[in-house]
């Protein structure tokens, strides 16, 4: 794992956006894996800005989102499809037909999950997968106890996740307890993973992800086995890492080496 600790959320957004921008520059028809939630919103702002300025085009890019609530139409204001349209797709030059979010309104969600996996494969797999992390260590909606080689499927949300996400729903509004999510195996198949985490509420999950055992009790710990996973953290999210100073030192050394090599 590459661990990058930065001063604040703004620098994290810029760092993450830069990785995506480099990916698209190297391969204009890149396949991006995207996340919702509060954490990536500023990064999407950076991508929109880069697109507006002409520095970045999404013309040939395809995207697959991690997850969706089961039982919500894409037009529902709390659906992740709606979130992605509002926070990214409506503001960039992407072909909306090349953007995929698991269909939460599928008549047969089991078939739909299998089809989602097949569409990712048909595009040649995900080049770079963006992730947030839940306080309980979930990635996508892979809650603790999720199989470490699971594929896209229907998952039940924990009470903790339902409570965390209740802030997006108004009082009395239907809040789904089920989701469709890429599996941990699906995420592990992506060629690069970039996980962003900000704030003290994520510190325990980050500690377990980086320095805990590889265990389904902390789904993000599977990333210990990923060949190219970058964790971009603010000081608060990194606060419980015993190796914090070593990770910072390693990152400074990495940067020096890249500069020497002119990369």
Show which residues are catalytic: 67, 136, 138, 143
- Distance, in Å, from the CA atom of 45 to the CA atom of 223, rounded to the nearest integer, reads 26
Q: Are 151 and 183 in contact (CB under 8 A)?
A: yes
- Our CB check for ligand F6R shows the closer of 67 and 127 to be 67
Q: How far is CA 38 from the centre of its chain?
A: 11
- Our CB check for ligand F6R shows the closer of 69 and 247 to be 69
Stretch in the footprint of ligand F6R (CB under 6 A) among 86-94, 113-121, 132-140, 233-241:
132-140
103: contact with ligand F6R by CB under 6 A: no
Using CB under 6 A, which residues numbered 33 to 52 contact ligand F6R? 35-39
Angle CA(231)–CA(235)–CA(239) in degrees, nearest 5?
90
- Phi, psi at 43, each rounded to 5°: -65, -40
Q: Are 98 and 2 in contact (CB under 8 A)?
A: no
140: contact with ligand F6R by CB under 6 A: yes
66: contact with ligand F6R by CB under 6 A: yes
As measured in angstroms, the least distance from the Cβ of 195 to ligand F6R is 9
Q: How far is CA 242 from the centre of its chain?
A: 25
Residue nearest to ligand F6R (CB): 132
137: contact with ligand F6R by CB under 6 A: no
As measured in angstroms, the least distance from the Cβ of 177 to ligand F6R is 15
Q: Are 82 and 169 in contact (CB under 8 A)?
A: no
Q: Tell me how many residues contact ligand F6R (CB under 6 A).
A: 14
Question: How is 124-142 classified by DSSP, letter by letter?
Answer: T--SEEEE---TTS-BTTB
Stretch in the footprint of ligand F6R (CB under 6 A) among 105-113, 127-135, 170-178, 186-194:
127-135
Q: Which residues bind ligand F6R (CB under 6 A)?
A: 35-39, 66-67, 132-134, 138-141
């Amino acid at each position: 794992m590459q661990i990058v600790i930065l001063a604040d959320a703004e620098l994290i957004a810029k760092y993450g956006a830069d990785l995506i921008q480099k990916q698209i520059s190297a391969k204009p028809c890149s396949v991006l894996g995207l996340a919702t939630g509060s954490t990536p919103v500023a990064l999407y702002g950076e991508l929109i800005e880069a697109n507006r300025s002409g520095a970045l085009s999404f013309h040939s890019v395809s995207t697959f989102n991690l997850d969706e609530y089961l039982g919500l139409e894409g037009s529902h204001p709390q659906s992740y499809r709606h979130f992605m349209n509002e926070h990214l797709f409506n503001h960039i030059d992407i072909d909306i037909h090349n953007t995929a979010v698991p269909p939460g309104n599928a008549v047969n969600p089991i078939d739909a999950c299998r089809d989602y996996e097949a569409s990712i494969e048909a595009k040649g797999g995900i080049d770079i997968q963006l992730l947030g992390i839940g306080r309980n260590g979930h990635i996508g909606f892979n809650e603790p106890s999720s199989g470490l080689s699971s594929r896209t499927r229907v998952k039940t949300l924990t009470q903790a996740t339902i409570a965390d996400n209740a802030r997006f729903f108004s009082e009395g509004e239907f809040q789904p307890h089920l989701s469709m999510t890429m599996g941990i195996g699906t995420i592990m198949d992506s060629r690069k993973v970039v996980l962003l985490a900000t704030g003290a509420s994520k510190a325990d999950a980050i500690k377990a992800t980086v320095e805990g055992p590889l265990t389904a009790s902390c789904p993000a710990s599977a990333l210990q086995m990923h060949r190219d996973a970058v964790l971009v953290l603010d000081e608060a999210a990194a606060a419980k890492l015993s190796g914090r100073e070593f990770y910072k030192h390693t990152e400074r050394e990495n940067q020096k080496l890249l500069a020497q090599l002119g990369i």
